Amino acid sequence: MRAVVMAAVLAANLGVAAYAAAQQAAVTVGPKEVERELAGKTWIVELPDRSPAIERFNVDGTVSIIGGLMDEGRWRLWERGYCTTWRRLRGGAERCFTLEKTADGRYLIYKPNGEISMTIVGFQ
């Protein structure tokens, strides 16, 4: 009997954990949400090395970043997210990024190889 009760408690706990994990699952963000939710804002970001930075993602297509990566450039919408071209970073070559939004409102931004580029943790 005790084993049955413990198994039921374990199963219930696993069910709650699975439900919580599903609620935290990130959803893919496309160009419409980038334009609606991210353009025209100043992002508070965390870089992969956990250092902070501030990125200004202006509606006129200009972008700047301070803290860690000091640069400015241009951004544009892309069918799967957005692309940036920086003055110094990557020698001025364009790179496009995909995004996911977490249940707690953070945006995970991915490089083309799937590595995390940065995480938007808030806005100014």
Q: Is residue 12 part of a domain?
A: no
Q: Is residue 113 part of a domain?
A: yes
Q: What is the mean pLDDT of residues 59-88?
A: 96
**Tokens 């995909």 correspond to what residue?**
98
Q: Is residue 50 part of a domain?
A: yes
Q: Is residue 20 part of a domain?
A: no
Taken as a whole, the chain contains a residue count of 124
Residue 68, pLDDT score: 73
Q: Is residue 3 part of a domain?
A: no
- What are the tens digits of pLDDT across the range 37-65? 999 999 999 999 999 999 999 999 999 99
Q: Is residue 5 part of a domain?
A: no
Q: Do the strands 52-57 and 41-46 form a parallel or antiparallel pair, or are they unpaired?
A: antiparallel
Total of domains in the chain: 1
Domain that residue 89 falls in: 26-123
Give the span between the Cα atoms of 82 and 100, in whole angstroms. Answer: 12
Count of alpha carbons within 13 Å of 8, Cβ hemisphere only?
5
Q: Is residue 13 part of a domain?
A: no
pTM of the model: 0.79
The H-assigned helical ranges of the chain are 2-24, 31-33
- What are the tens digits of pLDDT across the range 88-110? 999 999 999 999 999 999 999 99
Mean pLDDT of the chain: 87
Q: Is residue 16 part of a domain?
A: no
CATH number at residue 111: 2.40.128.640
